[in-house]
Amino acid sequence: MPVIKYPRIRDPLFYEWDRKAQKCGLRHTVYAVNGDQYTGEWLDNLKHGKGTQIWKSTGAIYSGDWKFGKRDGYGSYSILDPVTKEYKKVYTGWWKNDQRGGQGVFFYPNGEHYEGEWSNGLRSGWGKMHYKDGSVYEGQWLTDQPNGTGLLLLPNGNRYEGGWKDGKKHGSGKYFYLDKGQLLEGIWVADIPKCGVLVDFDRDNAPASTESPLPKIELQDPAGVLAEAQARFDDSHN
């Protein structure tokens, strides 16, 4: 009886091509249609693990962690200076879902920089901001603005310690005028002191002290006066 040999059934070639096209593991540089390029690890055809991305349109570069196609983990983002053709670091720190999230340092084009916590790409949490004029703010942030409790230190040594809202002094606080040797303790609303007590503070050592000392105001309960003012302030804003 003759033996009939049937040809082995093979998958169509495009199945093999498709399998090879699904990127997984470490790969050499892969170019996108728009010219962007990525070198690093993949999982199920998505950037996943350690990798470096270069955007052709801007020349920006990101090197760090990826998770299912998005920047997630620790990484550094830099931009290309069009004049010097050198890379300038913009942000180094943690990322979440392709945005700045967690601890990180951000460098602004005008020379300012922020180091602290981020959420959804915005300064949120506890952080320290170094401004171009030499001022430094350290304290709580919410949606990119000082909110909560914080300290603002000015270049001349004067400082404010107290409450903040939407980037402005708001609530109870203390303003130390070290150049004049005075202290203002009171209540602020949108950067404006509404009530408080101004007293001399190390006036003899102040570089620009007033000619005459402030008269002492004897209050039986200064803390109680400020507490009452704070209560009135809270009632008027509820």
Residues whose CB falls within 8 Å of the CB of residue 213, separated by 6 or more in sequence, listed in order: 200, 203
- Least confident span in 147-151, 192-196, 220-224: 220-224
Query: Topology of domain 108-230, per CATH?
Result: 2.20.110
Decide which of 226 and 33 is more confident.
33
Question: Please, which pLDDT band fits residue 3 given cuts at 50, 70 and 90?
Answer: low
**pLDDT score of 12 more than 60:** no
Four-residue CA torsion sign, 139, 188, 131, 121: positive
pLDDT at 219: 46
Same fold, 12-98 and 108-230: yes
99 burial via Cβ count (<10 Å: 0-12, 13-18, 19+): middle
Sorted by where each begins, the domain ranges of the chain are 12-98, 108-230
Please identify, in words, the CATH class of the domain defined by 12-98.
Answer: mainly beta
- Least confident span in 20-34, 125-139, 145-159: 20-34
Per-residue DSSP letters for 159-205? EEEEEEETTEEEEEEEEEETTTTEEEEEEEETTEEEEEEEEE-SGGG
Contact 83, 102 (CB under 8 A): no
**pLDDT score of 210 more than 80:** no
